[in-house]
Amino acid sequence: MKHQNILSAGLMAVVLGAGAPALAQMQLSIATGGTGGVYYPMGGGLAEIINNHIDGYSATAEVTGASVENMGLIATGDADLAIALADTVQQAQTGTGRFEGQQLEMVRGIASMYANMVQIVTLEGSGITSLADLAGHRVSIGAPGSGTEVNAQQILEANGISYDDIEEQRLNFNETADALSNGDIDAGFWSVGAPTSSILNLATTQSIHVIALSDEEMTAAIGANSVFARTTLAGGTYSGVDEDVPVIGVPNVLVVSSEMDDDLAYEITKAMFDNIAELQAVHPAANQTTVEFTLDATPVPLHPGAIRYFEEIGATVPDRLRP
């Protein structure tokens, strides 16, 4: 662990590539995802809340490969906060799945921020209308080290489709949208809050189709990952997608290291929830960022500083969320 970046502004300045140590404020790094998703604007909004409401701290949202990479950044101390998919967070904290043999016991939750929707997008006229139709086609499964890649593999394999059955490509959200538009791939996975800018932009120039999962496919996916939930992409979310589409939902979690100072974790939790309207103004996904959602959906223990805030406002923290 080198999580001294919370204690040393100089080290954090080096991590962020600054030319000299910051003397007036302690620097915090928030690991997010690509610019075409929701993590980056949400992280930027959280950084502004920290900058405006926590004295002595300055935060910056960093572009990353998203969930899997973000857990590594928390473990090494190269990020102070990170947003990641709940199943990825759970795997990291328990040393399972993608983190087999490398358990990151220090992972602690601050909040569950909103639920992703696994959106599988193709173009009208592609001939792909179902999950099974992906076989034999060029499919973007998400950026390397992303939660999208984890979710795509789980959904496909739970329904009898392996990477041997598709021509998989590992592209980030913007790259996936561009590749679809250019005809370089046939379909792509997005595990992201809806609406997301990369699909919105794609739908302005192309007629898109979002693949609905059947009840049987949903059941199989949930059987493979208990964090998955049935949800619906509302009709009208994207241009040309007029009907509701059944999709898989998965929460996103704001995490820190257990080594973060209790008072700082408390101040971050308090600043975010007390000023949640500021985050909602950045992206509508933050309408889901509630104490109730946090206590229901967070898959790992909460940081003691966050627990202090929740108890201070009268919330009941379940035993499963206590370290």
Token match 């964090």: residue? 227
Q: Judge whether 321 and 296 are in contact, CB under 8 Å.
A: no
Question: What is the rounded CA–CA span in Å between residue 147 and residue 71?
Answer: 11
The pLDDT score that the predictor gives to residue 23 is 52
The pLDDT score that the predictor gives to residue 18 is 43
Find the distance separating the first CA and the last CA of the chain, reported in whole Å.
19
> Which of 13-27, 42-56, 165-179, 303-317 shows the lowest per-residue confidence on average (mean pLDDT)?
13-27
138 DSSP β-pair partners: 167
Q: Is 70 exceeded by the pLDDT of residue 13?
A: no
The pLDDT score that the predictor gives to residue 145 is 82
* 253-272 tens-digit pLDDT: 999 999 999 999 999 999 99
Question: What is the rounded CA–CA span in Å between residue 231 and residue 238?
Answer: 16
Q: How many CB atoms lie within 10 A of CB 23?
A: 8
Mean pLDDT of 177-191: 98
When pLDDT is cut at 50, 70 and 90, the band that residue 226 belongs to is confident
Alpha carbon 58 to its chain centroid, in Å, reads 22
The pLDDT score that the predictor gives to residue 263 is 98
Domains, the chain, in order of start with CATH, read 3-115+252-321 (3.40.190.10), 116-250 (3.40.190.10)
The pLDDT score that the predictor gives to residue 65 is 92
Mean pLDDT of 44-69: 97
Q: Which of 276, 319, 121 is nearest to 201 (CA)?
A: 121
- What six digits make up the tokens of 131? 């999950």
Q: Judge whether 77 and 257 are in contact, CB under 8 Å.
A: yes
Does the predicted TM-score (pTM) go above 0.75? yes
Q: Name every residue whose Cβ is closer than 8 Å to that of residue 212 and which is 6 or more positions away in sequence.
A: 130, 245, 246, 247
The pLDDT score that the predictor gives to residue 25 is 86
Q: Is 60 exceeded by the pLDDT of residue 2?
A: no
The pLDDT score that the predictor gives to residue 125 is 95
Token match 């009840």: residue? 215
Q: Is 90 exceeded by the pLDDT of residue 6?
A: no
b/e 55-89 (16+ beta carbons within 10 angstroms → b): eebbbbbbebbbbbbbbbbbbebbbbbbbbbbbbb
Tally of residues, the chain? 323
- Top pLDDT among 12 and 316 is at 316
The pLDDT score that the predictor gives to residue 7 is 31
Output the DSSP codes for 110-127. EEEEEEEEEEEEEETTSS
Phi and psi at residue 102, in whole multiples of 5°?
Answer: -140, 60
Question: What is the rounded CA–CA span in Å between residue 96 and residue 288?
Answer: 28
Mean pLDDT of the residues in the chain:
92
The pLDDT score that the predictor gives to residue 36 is 87
Q: Is 50 exceeded by the pLDDT of residue 199?
A: yes
* 17-53 tens-digit pLDDT: 444 444 568 999 999 999 988 999 999 999 999 999 9
Q: Judge whether 222 and 154 are in contact, CB under 8 Å.
A: no
Q: Work out the percent of the chain whose per-residue pLDDT is above 90.
A: 84
Question: What is the rounded CA–CA span in Å between residue 21 and residue 79?
Answer: 16
Q: Which of 290, 285, 260, 215 is nearest to 54 (CA)?
A: 260
Residue 302 burial by Cβ neighbours in a 10 Å radius (0-12, 13-18, 19+): buried
Q: Is 80 exceeded by the pLDDT of residue 309?
A: yes
Q: Is 50 exceeded by the pLDDT of residue 97?
A: yes
* 267-297 tens-digit pLDDT: 999 999 999 999 999 998 999 999 999 999 9
The pLDDT score that the predictor gives to residue 216 is 97
The pLDDT score that the predictor gives to residue 147 is 87
Compute the Cα dihedral for 141, 248, 68, 11 and give only its sign.
positive
